[in-house]
Structure 1
Amino acid sequence: MENGIKESKVNLNRNGAHTVLPTAVVSEGNKNGKGVLNSLMSGALAGAVAKTAVAPLDRTKIIFQVSSNRFSAKEAYKLIYRTYLNEGFLSLWRGNSATMVRVIPYAAIQFCAHEQYKKLLGGYFGFQGSVLTPFPRLLAGSLAGTTAAMLTYPLDLVRARMAVTPKEMYSNIIHVFIRMSKEEGLKTLYRGFAPTILGVIPYAGISFFTYETLKKLHAEHSGRTQPYPFERLLFGACAGLLGQSASYPLDVVRRRMQTAGVTGHTYGSILGTMREVVVEEGFIHGLYKGLSMNWVKGPIAVGISFTTFDLTQILLKKLQKMSSVQR
């Protein structure tokens, strides 16, 4: 039976004597652990839902990015329709299994890392428990994106390969890894890594910064601490639009370098790839190819991602509170 007194955890020190750990310290550790787990789960779900929703548009964008064909909305529609007629409806999601293998850990790590970096930077800059100022807010997003990209990069490359090749070439994700390693060497798994990191710094930084800033401004002007779901979608859409526009040329370079082994090109460096793309296709039509599609796809994906993360976090916290009350 409960006696109304909260027990403290007991531990042994080096001399064998019992020491009592303050209950606040123990509960704080449990709280942090649950917070990390919640962030990982919410981030994984957010990434999976967002990427699946825009997978056909994403695949179409990648195909144009790695080819010299001129991009237009009409040509994009024709490509999607031809793919549907020739390979079936589900082929529009070809490579999505590889996307899920990559995006679930990527999004989980990115969102969780963002929460942790916010806490670390908040303590360092003296804003613990309150909204960060602009620079640390931007830095937290960039660090989160960089951390996630570094840990999951080979999966992104595999996904790009599957998106631009016929299913006869690579039967599944494992087959891509094995064939690439044998035919092109293990270092190929990190081809395009430099432009990825250079691109993710402004992309993740601006995306998280914009979303957090819009939520802060909303709270100040509306008096509501939590935006409505449609407002979260709108804030996320703005974040995705700005973030992807800022980093798009590096995204094109990354895709070209990732798929060089199957497109017949020999892209060796970031500047060399940029130069070749500009010479062959022009500055705007080359380095910004598919950007207009990204203005449709990106805001939808990022909006869904941020909204799903926030709402899942809120739901998990409510469930944990209900569980602790019942106990």
Structure 2
Amino acid sequence: MQSLRDLGVNISEEQAEKILRRIRRGHIWAPIMYMDKNGTMTIDWNEWRDYHLLHPADNIPEIILYWKHSSIFDVGESLMVPDEFTAEEKKMGMLWRHLVAGGGAGAVSRTCTAPLDRLKVLMQVHSSKSNSMRIAGGFAQMIREGGTRSLWRGNGINVLKIAPESAIKFVAYEQIKRLIGSNQETLGITERLVAGSLAGAIAQSSIYPMEVLKTRLALRKTGQYSGIQDCAKHIFQREGVAAFYKGYIPNMLGIIPYAGIDLAVYETLKNSWLQHYATDSADPGVFVLLACGTTSSTCGQLASYPLALVRTRMQAQASLGGGPQMSMTGLFRHIIRTEGPIGLYRGLAPNFMKVIPSVSISYVVYEYLKITLGVQSK
């Protein structure tokens, strides 16, 4: 009060206490930070330095919690390594609130980008050297064949599988962490990769028939099926139970490069940002989070895309009619022989076109739902 009075500013004792007990403003889940840490109502050099130079990066647990729970992105592949939660957060119900927020964000982002997703499937299955499908031509063909509503074919099952897949993945991840025998609250990057990949494989195995249904519904002609149940019935009657697991092997193999590269790139970008720019704030901001999530997801998809293409073609084989039923290795050889390596990347353009809008929509909806559900770091 005396120092400010010497500068010509008169404040009351109550105002002085508010200054000394400044609360950090910003995100709704931001930690409360006191300049006067020891409650003596005086500020020494260490307290002044920590507050103004290190604030809020001196609180390492809060930085970790922010990074752990502010970067869930859904680009329609749903193979990200699951998040980790402390015992205290689980008791408070944070895990299930995050799952609901993530599921809602995924549903909205997938619905908004569904036309690009369907175009990707059509290009993966039908595009070739002799039948080169372009983006504009693909959209025109879909609208001509089935009207504007046809752009969203297969989206219903794509949204429905979010909840069971996410729940199974989180439960499996927790169990695998215990089996690994780690006593730490947070796993290292190698352990996370192993546990996350295995959890992703278990979740994908559980809901894989829904993946096949999604592909068949996206490829269907107008009036071919009346809905999800009718499509499942037709596949079962004509092809048997085995048809629901076509493309299963390339799908499982694709989890490892996707999850591994996604996690490795994200961790590298995250650590680089924290080391170089976290001296002023632990809040990375929207653009940093979008850049990290978009870049890591794009790299993961690029590495696993040939396997995803082969999986989709295997899922669609019986519906094409008259064509040979090839194995995974047979399809790889056939594509490279007839189309060259570029044939393994058919549909890549619409797939990448949907990444940025999907990540952006997912982030905005996720943050809004987290606030609505009262999700806080502490």
Give the TM interval when normalised to the shorter protein: 0.7 to 0.9
Secondary structure in structure 2 of the residue aligned to 1:166: coil
User: What residue number does 2:206 align with?
Assistant: 151
- Is the Cα contact below 8 Å between 1:39 and 1:108 reproduced in 2? no
User: What residue number does 2:325 align with?
Assistant: 267
1:61 deviation in Å? Answer: 0.8
User: What residue number does 2:96 align with?
Assistant: 37
1:123-163 per-position Cα deviation (integer Å, ceiling 9, x unaligned):
71x6425xx44322433432342232112111011000011
Residues 158-237 of structure 1: matches in 2 within 5 Å?
Answer: 158-223=213-278, 224-237=281-294
Structure 1, 32-41 or 275-284: larger mean CA deviation:
32-41
User: What residue number does 2:340 align with?
Assistant: 282
User: What residue number does 1:136 align with?
Assistant: 191
Is 1:251–2:290 an aligned residue pair? no
What one-letter code is carried by the residue in structure 2 that aligns with 1:276?
A: H
TM-align CA RMSD = 3.2
What one-letter code is carried by the residue in structure 2 that aligns with 1:262?
A: S
- Is the Cα contact below 8 Å between 1:158 and 1:173 reproduced in 2? yes
User: What residue number does 1:23 align with?
Assistant: none
Secondary structure in structure 2 of the residue aligned to 1:171: coil
- Is the Cα contact below 8 Å between 1:84 and 1:92 reproduced in 2? yes
What one-letter code is carried by the residue in structure 1 that aligns with 2:158?
A: T
**Cα distance, 1:212–1:307 mapped onto 2, change above 3 Å:** farther
**Cα distance, 1:279–1:200 mapped onto 2, change above 3 Å:** same
User: What residue number does 2:352 align with?
Assistant: 295
1:273 deviation in Å? Answer: 1.4
- Which of 103, 125, 146 does residue 162 from structure 2 map onto? 103
- Is the Cα contact below 8 Å between 1:204 and 1:243 reproduced in 2? yes
1:245 deviation in Å? Answer: 0.3
What one-letter code is carried by the residue in structure 1 that aligns with 2:246?
A: R
What one-letter code is carried by the residue in structure 2 that aligns with 1:105?
A: P
In the alignment, the residues of structure 2 paired with residue 29 and residue 233 of structure 1 have an alpha-carbon distance, to the nearest angstrom, of 28
In the alignment, the residues of structure 2 paired with residue 58 and residue 146 of structure 1 have an alpha-carbon distance, to the nearest angstrom, of 22
1:298 deviation in Å? Answer: 3.4
**Cα distance, 1:267–1:79 mapped onto 2, change above 3 Å:** same
In the alignment, the residues of structure 1 paired with residue 346 and residue 130 of structure 2 have an alpha-carbon distance, to the nearest angstrom, of 6
1:106 deviation in Å? Answer: 2.5
* Relative contact order, higher structure (CA 8 A, sep 6+): 2
1:288 deviation in Å? Answer: 1.3
Structure 1, 243-252 or 144-153: larger mean CA deviation:
144-153
**Cα distance, 1:177–1:46 mapped onto 2, change above 3 Å:** same
Secondary structure in structure 1 of the residue aligned to 2:185: coil
Gaps of 5+ in 2: 1-85
- Is the Cα contact below 8 Å between 2:145 and 2:222 reproduced in 1? no
Task: From the two aligned structures, give the one with the greater helix fraction.
Answer: 1
**Cα distance, 1:231–1:263 mapped onto 2, change above 3 Å:** same
**Cα distance, 1:115–1:55 mapped onto 2, change above 3 Å:** same
Please, what TM-score do these two structures have when normalized by structure 2? 0.67
1:206 deviation in Å? Answer: 2.4
In the alignment, the residues of structure 1 paired with residue 288 and residue 233 of structure 2 have an alpha-carbon distance, to the nearest angstrom, of 45
**Cα distance, 1:139–1:320 mapped onto 2, change above 3 Å:** closer
In the alignment, the residues of structure 1 paired with residue 167 and residue 294 of structure 2 have an alpha-carbon distance, to the nearest angstrom, of 20
**Cα distance, 1:113–1:213 mapped onto 2, change above 3 Å:** farther
Identity among equivalent positions (%) equals: 35
1:62 deviation in Å? Answer: 0.5
In the alignment, the residues of structure 2 paired with residue 47 and residue 147 of structure 1 have an alpha-carbon distance, to the nearest angstrom, of 20
Is 1:93–2:152 an aligned residue pair? yes
Residues 14-33 of structure 1: matches in 2 within 5 Å?
Answer: 28=87, 31-32=90-91
Q: Which has the larger radius of gyration?
A: 2
Secondary structure in structure 1 of the residue aligned to 2:128: coil
**Cα distance, 1:96–1:70 mapped onto 2, change above 3 Å:** farther
- Is the Cα contact below 8 Å between 2:176 and 2:195 reproduced in 1? yes
Please, what TM-score do these two structures have when normalized by structure 1? 0.76
What one-letter code is carried by the residue in structure 1 that aligns with 2:220?
A: T
Secondary structure in structure 1 of the residue aligned to 2:121: helix
In the alignment, the residues of structure 2 paired with residue 120 and residue 316 of structure 1 have an alpha-carbon distance, to the nearest angstrom, of 29
